[in-house]
């Protein structure tokens, strides 16, 4: 017992490298940087990371068969690859009934029906983490759902632009040459077009996006959104046609031997050679950016600070484009904005968290995102 009391314990201060300290105490390392007017990534407070955009089309000269649009977005170390594919769905004809009820409804209902004029994209987000075939993580599911909802409500894609205006392929029996006639080409002298209009079914493209993220270093929603927006802007939909003989093809389907119904087949084939750009509502193209709000806490880095300054006013700063672990871990208050360069806000999410978000901060973040959107738009 005595020997322990008498022995001298030599306490050496532990020194951690930056990366390790960022893990152990993200708040300390963040505050130390902030006190130097810098951020862990050596950016200033309202500085964004540069984004470089390219698409696979540039490299490849031609799309792979079923790929309609691509984008590769690089932001710092993070790489996001988006590819757009499509499928075709037959829509039940609801337009007439819809029109009838449209007169009676008002307010919220009307707004809700306004949304039904727009289409969306079904995104599948995959963040590479070396997990193999594990089920999707919460983050992947959240980002996917948010992307889908925001595209729908932003009114970027109207349902009209997704409609499949298919033509007919006519094969001349004598020459055995086939030719495709599209409705807009107005060759009225051809009988099949008249038939076609009669049988025109309500077909619609469904857009799918596959978003793969490599080396995640910070929040991803805004990067995924931007990548998806770029990809949609270079998406080209194929022209589609059906064979002449299939125009009026119907098959009888029996269910449980009682009812008989006629069902029309649709064997739509897409033309490999012609593609038309997807018509987006240009005024609704918007870009996303995110911000973190953090209180400067001088006590943490300077233990004597409290004694020197007695005022309780905490200084709050706005950090643009959150990245690196120490920022993401420590910052609880954040703002996420989707806007275009004119400040046409599409979505804004403010999370109060632990810091006070003042009016100035909100205004500053909106003006910053306008500048950011302007910059991102020039890269499209």
Partner 1 sequence: MNVQDRRRLLGPSNAKPIVFSAATDIQSSEPKKDESSSFILNSGLIENCNGSSLVEIRDPKVTQHQTSLITSVYGPRATKGSFTSQASLSIQLKNGSSEKYNTTELKEVSSFLVNVFNSVINLSRYPKSGIDIFIYILYDKVLSEESKKSNNISAILPYCISAITLALINAGIEVDDIATAGYYKGDVISFIKNGEEVIGYWKDEGNCESFDVALEHCKTEAQKFKNLITTHILEE
Using CB under 8 A as the binding rule, whether residue 269 contacts partner 1 is answered as yes
Q: Select the residue interacting with partner 1 from 208, 236, 364, 379 (CB under 8 A).
A: 208
User: Segment near partner 1 (CB under 8 A), from 27-35, 44-52, 116-124, 353-361?
Assistant: 116-124
In sequence order, which residues have a C-beta less than 8 Å from that of residue 164 and are 6 or more positions away? 88, 203, 204, 205, 240, 268
In sequence order, which residues have a C-beta less than 8 Å from that of residue 282 and are 6 or more positions away? none
User: Segment near partner 1 (CB under 8 A), from 66-74, 100-108, 289-297, 363-371?
Assistant: 66-74
Q: Select the residue interacting with partner 1 from 49, 148, 201, 364 (CB under 8 A).
A: 148
User: Segment near partner 1 (CB under 8 A), from 62-70, 313-321, 326-334, 368-376?
Assistant: 62-70
343 contacts 370 by C-beta, under 8 angstroms: yes
- Three-class SS of residue 244? helix
Minimum Å gap between C-beta 258 and partner 1 is 23
CA distance 107 to 98: 16
User: Segment near partner 1 (CB under 8 A), from 136-144, 185-193, 247-255, 347-355?
Assistant: 136-144
Using CB under 8 A as the binding rule, whether residue 65 contacts partner 1 is answered as yes
Q: Which of residues 289-308 bind partner 1 (CB under 8 A)?
A: none
What mask, x for binding partner 1 by CB under 8 A, covers residues 74 to 113? Answer: ---xxx-x-x-xxxxxx-----------------------
Residue 167 has which token pair? 């033509």
Using CB under 8 A as the binding rule, whether residue 136 contacts partner 1 is answered as yes
Residue 39 has which token pair? 């951020």
Alpha-helical runs (H) found in 155-255: 191-199, 221-233
Q: Select the residue interacting with partner 1 from 54, 214, 350, 366 (CB under 8 A).
A: 214
Q: Select the residue interacting with partner 1 from 26, 123, 167, 292 (CB under 8 A).
A: 123
User: Segment near partner 1 (CB under 8 A), from 37-45, 96-104, 213-221, 335-343?
Assistant: 213-221
Alpha-helical runs (H) found in the chain: 2-6, 18-24, 26-35, 56-60, 95-102, 108-115, 138-154, 191-199, 221-233, 298-301, 305-308, 325-330, 359-377
Residue 11 has which token pair? 């306490």
DSSP result, 32-71: HHHHTT--TTS--TTPPPPEEEE-HHHHHSS--TT--EEE
Q: Which residue in this structure is represented by tokens 């988006």?
A: 82
Binding site for partner 1 (CB under 8 A): 56, 59-62, 64-67, 70, 77-79, 81, 83, 85-90, 122-124, 128-130, 132-133, 135-136, 141, 144-145, 148, 178, 205-206, 208, 212, 214-217, 238, 240, 268-273
């Amino acid at each position: 017992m005595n020997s322990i009391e008498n022995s001298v314990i030599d306490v050496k201060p532990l020194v951690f490298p930056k990366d390790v300290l960022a893990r152990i105490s993200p708040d300390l390392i963040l505050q130390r940087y902030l006190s130097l007017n810098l951020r862990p990534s050596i950016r200033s407070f309202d500085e964004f990371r540069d984004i470089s955009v390219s698409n696979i089309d540039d490299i490849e000269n031609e799309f792979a068969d079923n790929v309609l649009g691509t984008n590769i977005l690089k932001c710092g170390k993070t790489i996001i690859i988006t590819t757009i594919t499509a499928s075709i769905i037959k829509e039940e004809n609801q337009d007439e009934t819809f029109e009838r009820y449209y007169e009676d409804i008002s307010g919220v209902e009307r707004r809700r029906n306004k949304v039904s004029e727009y289409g969306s994209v079904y995104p599948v987000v995959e963040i590479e983490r070396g997990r193999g075939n594990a089920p999707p993580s919460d983050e992947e599911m959240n980002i996917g759902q948010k992307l889908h909802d925001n595209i729908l409500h932003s009114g970027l894609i109207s349902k009209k632009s997704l409609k499949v205006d298919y033509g007919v392929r006519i094969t001349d029996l004598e020459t055995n040459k086939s030719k495709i006639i599209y409705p807009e080409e107005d060759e009225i002298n051809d009988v099949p077009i008249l038939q076609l209009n009669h049988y025109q079914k309500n077909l619609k493209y469904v857009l799918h996006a596959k978003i793969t993220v490599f080396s995640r270093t910070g929040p991803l929603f805004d990067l995924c959104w931007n990548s998806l927006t770029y990809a949609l802007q270079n998406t080209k939909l194929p022209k589609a046609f059906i064979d002449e003989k299939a125009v009026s093809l119907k098959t009888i389907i029996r269910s449980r031997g009682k009812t008989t119904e006629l069902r029309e087949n649709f064997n739509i084939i897409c033309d490999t050679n012609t593609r038309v750009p997807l018509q987006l509502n240009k005024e609704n193209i918007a870009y996303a950016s995110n911000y973190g709000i953090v209180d400067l806490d001088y006590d943490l880095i300077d233990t004597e600070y409290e004694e020197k300054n007695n005022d309780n006013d905490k200084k709050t700063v706005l950090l643009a484009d959150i990245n690196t672990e120490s920022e993401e871990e420590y910052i609880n208050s954040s703002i996420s904005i989707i806007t275009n360069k004119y400040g046409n806000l599409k979505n804004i999410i403010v999370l109060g968290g632990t810091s006070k978000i003042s009016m100035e901060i909100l205004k500053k973040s909106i003006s910053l995102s306008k500048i950011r959107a302007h910059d991102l738009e020039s890269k499209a």
